[in-house]
Amino acid sequence: MKIDLKSKKRIVIKIGSSVLINKESVNKRWLRAFADDVHWLCKKDFEVVIISSGAVALGRKHFKKLDTKEDIQTKKAAAAIGQIQLLSLYQECFRKKRINVAQILLTSQDCDERKRYLSSKQTIGKLLDNKIIPIINENDSLVVSGTKIGDNDRLAARIAQMVSADILVLLSDVNGLYNKNPSLNKDARFISEVTKITKNIENFASSATSDVGTGGMQTKVMAAKMLVDSNCATIIASGITNHSLKDIFKAKKDFTIFYSNKKSSINSRKKWLSGFLNINGKVIINKRAKEALLTGSASLLPVGAVKIEGTFKKKEAILIEDEEGNHIATGVSNYSSIDSKKILLKNSTQVRKIIGKGSKDELVHIDNLVLN
């Protein structure tokens, strides 16, 4: 299957630890071949952003392993050591192709808080404008509990939204999506194209992980789902062999492609709203509120909210679900979880009496809401 690249300009590539790391060392031969593939894309006037795993796996060798599950502080320290080694090798391999690279380390707040999101977007944009390739990873050394992204698949999708990418390529040790786990089922069927991410497709995704990575097929499908309305296709492919990237674009290897919904391309703000990486709160709405939201022209009012789950502050992101547990929308709440519970099923007049000065008629305003 060949990809039409005529209308494509910007590509985000995520490299999994299982691809890059071989027995706690970087596979230099693979990285040199990858640099050659990226150079090939750059000569075709593509802009490339790289999301690279591998820092923790690379830094582990400097610490005694007391068990298979290192404590969080050891992982942070391993990331601090591994990150500088990893970027040094990237710089070495890409310099030989006369390509400049830059390092960006992000947290979930950098991706989810509007001002920090826009600042990150501007920095990446400036690098691309000057033909410098950003190499991005989560800031594992400083992340605190409750704010960790946890996998680079979703981070890559968030960056693809941020930079308005045309294609996201997820390179790992699997060659794509199957209807069953191919390691356990000989009759597993390979799925080369996905035009709509249904419940069946989500169920096909396996939660199994590799020896050195943190993401499985579930996180890859989640990443593809984040980009459905962003006019960005997602490719899941094996990157184990040298020149895997070039082989994908030359149709020399199998992969799974998730097509975007061309009829539903959303603006920059809606992209930001649709891709939050960490959400702590949830509001359950009744049937009437659900019907109003699905028209695409209504805010979520307190009168339609029946239950609040989780803890969140004012202006933080929340999930909006119906009473059957279906994800309807994502939005930014005008109220904290504490105040939201006070105004459940209340009309505007009642809300003003309860909250007083500074009250809002909407629990989530339409401008801060995006449908699933």
Stretch 240-250: mean pLDDT: 95
Rounded distance between C-alpha atoms, residue 25 and residue 161, angstroms: 31
Rounded distance between C-alpha atoms, residue 130 and residue 122, angstroms: 12
Provide the mean pLDDT of the chain.
Answer: 89
Same domain, 244 and 360: no
| 32: enclosing H helix or E strand | helix 28-43
State which of 231, 250, 270 marks the end of a domain. 270
% of residues, the chain, pLDDT over 70: 93
Same domain, 42 and 178: yes
Same domain, 46 and 115: yes
Is residue 4 included in any domain, yes or no? Answer: no
pLDDT tens digits for range 307-322: 999 999 999 999 999 9
What residues does 202 pair with on adjacent strands? none
Residue 149 predicted with pLDDT over 80? no
Nearest in space to 275 (alpha carbons), one of 156, 172, 176: 156
Name residue 320's amino acid: I
Name residue 297's amino acid: S
pLDDT at site 144: 67
Rounded distance between C-alpha atoms, residue 170 and residue 150, angstroms: 16
Contact 355, 343 (CB under 8 A): yes
- Cα angle 89-176-30, degrees, rounded to a multiple of 5: 20
Is residue 3 included in any domain, yes or no? Answer: no
Domain that includes residue 103, residue range: 10-270
Is residue 2 included in any domain, yes or no? Answer: no
pLDDT at site 212: 40
Rounded distance between C-alpha atoms, residue 350 and residue 303, angstroms: 10
Same domain, 217 and 364: no
Is residue 5 included in any domain, yes or no? Answer: no
Contact 205, 217 (CB under 8 A): yes
pLDDT at site 265: 64
Is residue 104 included in any domain, yes or no? Answer: yes
In terms of pLDDT, which residue wins out, 185 or 328? 328
| CATH code of the domain covering residue 78 | 3.40.1160.10
pLDDT tens digits for range 188-230: 899 999 999 888 888 888 544 444 444 588 899 999 999 988 8
Same domain, 346 and 235: no
pLDDT tens digits for range 1-11: 777 777 779 99
Is residue 1 included in any domain, yes or no? Answer: no
Same domain, 181 and 315: no
Same domain, 296 and 366: yes
pLDDT tens digits for range 109-130: 899 899 999 999 999 999 999 9
Burial of residue 192, with CB atoms counted within 10 A of its CB: 0-12 exposed, 13-18 middle, 19 or more buried: exposed
How many domains is the chain built from? 2
| CATH code of the domain covering residue 335 | 2.30.130.10
Contact 175, 254 (CB under 8 A): yes
Name residue 317's amino acid: A
Same domain, 89 and 112: yes
Rounded distance between C-alpha atoms, residue 108 and residue 76, angstroms: 16
Is residue 174 included in any domain, yes or no? Answer: yes
State which of 270, 301, 321 marks the end of a domain. 270
pLDDT at site 206: 58
In terms of pLDDT, which residue wins out, 310 or 69? 310
Same domain, 216 and 328: no
Same domain, 340 and 202: no
Strands 190-191 and 177-178: antiparallel
Same domain, 263 and 145: yes
Same domain, 237 and 139: yes
Residues, the chain: 372
Rounded distance between C-alpha atoms, residue 108 and residue 277, angstroms: 6
State which of 270, 291, 307 marks the end of a domain. 270
Residue 235 predicted with pLDDT over 90? yes
Residue 66 predicted with pLDDT over 60? no
